[in-house]
A and B are shown apart, each in its own frame.
With several copies, the nearest count.
Chain A
Amino acid sequence: MIEFRHAIIEALADELAADPSVFLLGEDVAAAGGVFKTTEGLLERFGPDRVIDTPISELAMTGAAFGSALMGRRPVLEIMFGDFMALSMDSLINQSAKWRFLSNDQVTVPLTVRTAVGAGGRFGAIHSQNPGTWLHNVAGISIVAPSTPGDAYGLLRSAVQADHPVLFLEHKRLFSMKGELDRGLVELGTAAVVREGADLTMVSMMKGVHDALQAADVLAAEGTDVEVIDLRSLRPLDLETVVRSVEKTGRIVCVEEGPVTGGWAAGLVGQLAAQALDLLEDATIVSAPDLPVPFSPTLEDAWLPGVERIVAHVRARLAGV
């Protein structure tokens, strides 16, 4: 068993060791080992040319990571909190995501951007967001978001090895979570059925997957057999896995840690409806209210979808309320 944050360190270490073109950059990632301790020990092992502390310059860092990728390097950029991604988006959207296409496939941009996301840690409105949806409509990048240490390892290695830009989201409430590490790679763009069930398909990501699994346990005791899918990838969406599940269950509930409008859940249901409307008996979304993430524990807990709300939602839905 290994902590999620250590799985990240392991993946980075294995990539740094395997490929001399890989390097890390970010604020406080080298000497300090990262504010979430996800790069600890890497400076010592790989030296200051491979693990670089940067100034607080998100534009320069993201632009430079892109430029180095054009030269054949494989930068892994850490943006400390996902909320700061707003300062990185120009280079991601207007450069990294576009250059291969614009070059007529002459160049690739093997860039990985890692960032810590999500609410529930009492960090308030500007340190708790889920920026995956900000980039969800941008062609040319992948967005992945693991929920377990094993997936974190496998997806991060795949991200670093990919020849296109990948945004890699790390949920803050998972860093201390423990799980198995088999050092297997996980293909980008694939969802995983993490619990089989016949009555209803529940889709979530990151911390939400664990809530979904807990909710499934509660519901199982009440006789509802929930299949839980860890979407793992926002872009591309693995509709196939979802469709296969819904073929069996006919019902889908998505659990999203964020507002419904413009979120991934509504988009997933929409694409599902456009592709397989006939399969659907019911489709719903458990999401956060359309508000920023509040600081106060009582408010933040109310903001979050959580096991209780998920369970209550499913019960009501099945009861036809």
Chain B
Amino acid sequence: MLLRAHADMYAIRRFEEHIMRLFLRGEIAGTTHLCNGQEAVCVGLGYALDEDDVVAGTYRGHGHILARGSEELRLAAELLGRVDGLCGGRAGSLNVFDPTRNYIGSFAIIGGSIGAATGAALALKGTGRVAVADFGDGTTNQGYFFECLNFAKVYDLPLVFSLENNGYMEYTPIGNVTARPDDLAGRAEAFGIETERVDGMDVRAVYEASLRAVERARAGEGPQFLEYRTYRFVGHSRSDPGDYRPEGELERWQERDPLTLSRRALTDELGTPDEDIAAREQEVDERLERAIDAALASPFPTPEELEVLS
């Protein structure tokens, strides 16, 4: 499984590198938020979920969407604003989602994912299905977050709060504007919600903790809270060079790049031959090449669509 996880994380990384390139070439307009560095959360959490579990994510959602199994071609096409996009080009990177994979939204409003997942969990209660609310550290200062912690606990909803703590809002370090920033999970504990802090760079740790939480929620034990400690290796969005980082911080975290960790574990612990890893990576590279090309070949929607609708 680790080899597959490695390949899936690798695919997310490469996919977003393609996206960045398309941006710089002017093929993609507007803005985009990459999860570069946070892939272990996407994949490890994704593996812990069943197909009919439900995920609500954020504008930083490409990785989670791919982890749900959505087609790379269609995701790329969406970011390019093409008809073959997951949302026909209407949504774009900030808002893209894939209801066919039970990924119900990339919420561009901070906290929106939590409200929606809370409602999904309300609808799923008693069905054995679970909903996941994905969000970032900055979101733990938002009203939606707290109200939904209470709401989910009151009705014992099958909801997993998935906090990706990458240490930053857009450009502001979370500690600058947050009380007790080292204990964000403590905010959930105040509601009597079970929490776990997880190494968000280690895909196996993410998977195992996520599975525990998901299974508890599935078993009717009410909402669960996971705090993944992670880091984004790139700026907040396209235009951000990330100057606000203290010197050396990025480099320290890069030593724990989820891809480095998984590659090392594959080699050192499981004795996976380098060629096997390389072969899988090459497979991904080729697949993505094809997907991006196909996405670029997809036409733009015609303006007539709007006239029909309104």
Q: Is B184 an interface residue (CB 8 A)?
A: no
Q: Is A123 an interface residue (CB 8 A)?
A: yes
Residues of B within 8 A of A124 (CB): 30, 91-92, 94-95, 108
User: Given A124-B95, A297-B81, A56–B306 Cβ distance below 8 Å?
Assistant: no
Q: Is the CB of B99 within 8 A of A60?
A: no
Interface residues of A in 31-79 (CB under 8 A from B): 31-32, 35, 52-73, 75
Q: Is the CB of A122 within 8 A of B29?
A: yes
Total interface residues on B, CB under 8 Å, equals 69
- Smallest Cβ distance from A238 to chain B, in angstroms? 17
Closest residue of chain B to A75 (Cβ to Cβ) is: B119
Q: Is the CB of A60 within 8 A of B29?
A: no
- Smallest Cβ distance from B21 to chain A, in angstroms? 17
Q: How far is the CA of A298 from the CA of B139 in the complex (A)?
A: 33
Q: Is the CB of A127 within 8 A of B169?
A: no
Binds B, one of A83-91, A214-222, A274-282: A83-91
- Smallest Cβ distance from B199 to chain A, in angstroms? 25
Q: Is the CB of B109 within 8 A of A90?
A: yes
Q: Is the CB of A57 within 8 A of B141?
A: yes
- Smallest Cβ distance from A226 to chain B, in angstroms? 25
Residues of A within 8 A of B150 (CB): 55, 57, 60
Q: Is the CB of B81 within 8 A of A296?
A: yes
Interface residues of B in 161-214 (CB under 8 A from A): 169-172, 176-178
Residues of B within 8 A of A121 (CB): 30
Closest residue of chain B to A289 (Cβ to Cβ) is: B310
Q: Is the CB of B171 within 8 A of A32?
A: yes
- Smallest Cβ distance from A295 to chain B, in angstroms? 3
Interface residues of A in 261-317 (CB under 8 A from B): 289-291, 294-299, 301-303
Q: Is A94 an interface residue (CB 8 A)?
A: yes
Q: Is the CB of B144 within 8 A of A63?
A: yes
Q: Is B42 an interface residue (CB 8 A)?
A: no
With beta carbons under 8 angstroms apart, the residue of A91, A99, A123, A303 that contacts B30 is A123
Q: Is A126 an interface residue (CB 8 A)?
A: yes
Closest residue of chain B to A34 (Cβ to Cβ) is: B171
Q: Is A101 an interface residue (CB 8 A)?
A: yes
Closest residue of chain A to B91 (Cβ to Cβ) is: A102
Q: How far is the CA of A301 from the CA of B120 in the complex (A)?
A: 34
Q: Is the CB of B81 within 8 A of A32?
A: no
Residues of B within 8 A of A137 (CB): none
Residues of B within 8 A of A122 (CB): 29-31, 81, 92
Q: How far is the CA of A66 from the CA of B107 in the complex (A)?
A: 13
User: Given A67-B56, A296-B92, A57–B306 Cβ distance below 8 Å?
Assistant: no
Q: 1/0 per residue B80-109: CB within 8 Å of A?
A: 011001111111101101011000110111
Closest residue of chain A to B304 (Cβ to Cβ) is: A302
Q: Is B24 an interface residue (CB 8 A)?
A: no
Binds A, one of B63-71, B110-118, B276-284: B110-118
Q: Is the CB of B124 within 8 A of A296?
A: no
Q: Is the CB of A295 within 8 A of B120?
A: no
Residues of B within 8 A of A299 (CB): 81, 89-90, 301, 303, 305-306
Closest residue of chain A to B126 (Cβ to Cβ) is: A49
Q: 1/0 per residue A166-189: CB within 8 Å of B?
A: 000000000000000000000000
Residues of A within 8 A of B171 (CB): 28, 31-32, 35
Residues of A within 8 A of B147 (CB): 55, 57, 59-60
A-B contacts, CB under 8 A, total: 233
Q: Is the CB of A125 within 8 A of B91?
A: yes
Q: Is the CB of B120 within 8 A of A68?
A: yes
Closest residue of chain A to B243 (Cβ to Cβ) is: A32
Interface residues of A in 92-109 (CB under 8 A from B): 94-95, 98-99, 101-104, 106-107
Q: How far is the CA of A58 from the CA of B141 in the complex (A)?
A: 10
Closest residue of chain A to B88 (Cβ to Cβ) is: A104
Q: How far is the CA of A101 from the CA of B92 in the complex (A)?
A: 12
Residues of A within 8 A of B142 (CB): 56-58
Residues of B within 8 A of A15 (CB): none
Q: Is A27 an interface residue (CB 8 A)?
A: yes
Q: Is the CB of A72 within 8 A of B123?
A: yes
With beta carbons under 8 angstroms apart, the residue of A73, A91, A125 that contacts B115 is A91
Q: How far is the CA of A99 from the CA of B244 in the complex (A)?
A: 35
With beta carbons under 8 angstroms apart, the residue of B86, B110, B141, B303 that contacts A298 is B303
Residues of B within 8 A of A70 (CB): 99, 104-105, 116, 119-120
- Smallest Cβ distance from A95 to chain B, in angstroms? 6
Residues of B within 8 A of A28 (CB): 169-172
- Smallest Cβ distance from B50 to chain A, in angstroms? 15
Residues of A within 8 A of B172 (CB): 27-28, 31-32, 53
With beta carbons under 8 angstroms apart, the residue of A68, A289, A295 that contacts B90 is A295
Q: Is the CB of B100 within 8 A of A59?
A: no
- Residue with the greatest number of chain A CB neighbours at <10 A, chosen from B116, B119, B154, B301: B119
Q: Is B300 an interface residue (CB 8 A)?
A: yes
Q: Is B46 an interface residue (CB 8 A)?
A: no
- Smallest Cβ distance from A206 to chain B, in angstroms? 19
Q: Is the CB of A67 within 8 A of B144?
A: no
Residues of B within 8 A of A27 (CB): 169-170, 172
Q: 1/0 per residue A199-215: CB within 8 Å of B?
A: 00000000000000000
Q: A106-B99, A125-B90 are in contact. List 10 more A-B contacts (CB 8 A).
A: A28-B169, A35-B171, A56-B169, A63-B111, A67-B116, A95-B107, A95-B109, A289-B310, A298-B300, A298-B302
Could you list 20 examples of A-B contacts with CB < 8 Å? A35-B170, A54-B177, A56-B142, A57-B151, A60-B151, A63-B144, A64-B122, A67-B116, A67-B123, A69-B119, A91-B112, A95-B115, A102-B97, A104-B86, A104-B90, A106-B99, A124-B94, A126-B94, A127-B31, A298-B301
